[in-house]
Chains A and B, each alone.
Chain A
Amino acid sequence: QVQLQESGPGLVKPSQTLSLVCTVSGGSVSSAGYYWTWIRQHPEKGLHWIGYIHYSGKNYYNPSLKSRLTISLDTSKNNFSLKLTSVTAADTAVYYCARVVTARDASDIWGQGTMVTVSS
């Protein structure tokens, strides 16, 4: 049974870098049939798709975040990560990692989510 688990600091200061890791268990990030995504949800708001990475190296970033965003994959550790630079209070959100089945274009497995607050 594949499971995803986010980890990282819950508090980040403004202008600093937000770094999160999603560890995959029960499956491999090197599987061709999936890509690995980050999605965030502002408090009491809807879902916002951040970007994805595939083990082939292919990735896509939401243009609204592209200049500050890096998503990378570590096959040796079976995880993928998100780095968002120059954060502001607007980046305060619950961050989810999820697996997307390429044949279905839908996120079938999600991490539990991690709350990140940007505040001094």
Chain B
Amino acid sequence: DIQMTQSPSSVSASVGDRVTVTCRASHDISRYLAWYQQKPGKAPKLLIYGASSLQNGVPSRFSGSGSGTDFTLTISSLQPEDFATYYCQQADSFPFTFGPGTKVDIK
């Protein structure tokens, strides 16, 4: 299985801050990477697919970049509704695997 890691595991930030989350794959996954946002008690929500394509309806303050083994999710200006846990997921080979998550909470 392809192993996914994320850093940091948690970050404290304020409204308006720029937040960056990093995801690393154990093997080259090209651009087969998605990002999800999950709030407590809720299902994950797709934000980004194909490493950098924004899912319909997702605010443009979210962006993704990277290819190969290193990827980044950036929130350009953190909003109150963005406090959540973020997961990356590789879709290069089965079984699809998720990163352990990055929790973004209020400073």
Contact = CB atoms under 8 A, between A and B. Distances in A.
Interface in B76-105: 87, 89, 91, 94-101
Contacts of B44: 47, 96, 107, 110
Contacts of B43: 96, 98, 110-113
Given A105-B32, A108-B55, A49 B46 contact: no
Contacts of A110: 43-45
Given A49-B96, A62-B94, A107-B34, 9 more contacts: A46-B101, A47-B98, A63-B95, A106-B46, A106-B49, A107-B46, A108-B46, A110-B44, A112-B42
Chain A contact residues (Cβ within 8 angstroms of B): what range? Answer: 20 to 34
Interface of A: 46-49, 51, 60, 62-64, 96, 98, 101, 104-108, 110-113
Contacts of B32: 105
Interface in B25-57: 32, 34, 36, 42-46, 49-50, 53, 55
Chain B contact residues (Cβ within 8 angstroms of A): what range? Answer: 20 to 34
30 contacts: A46-B87, A46-B101, A47-B36, A47-B44, A47-B89, A47-B98, A48-B98, A49-B89, A49-B95, A49-B96, A49-B98, A60-B94, A62-B95, A63-B95, A101-B49, A104-B49, A104-B53, A105-B34, A105-B49, A105-B50, A106-B50, A106-B91, A107-B34, A107-B36, A107-B44, A108-B46, A110-B43, A110-B45, A112-B43, A113-B43
B41 to A, nearest CB: 9
A48 B32 CA distance: 17
Nearest to B96: A49
A47 B87 contact: yes
A62 B96 CA distance: 9
Nearest to B87: A47
A46 B87 CA distance: 8
A47 B43 CA distance: 10
Nearest to A62: B95
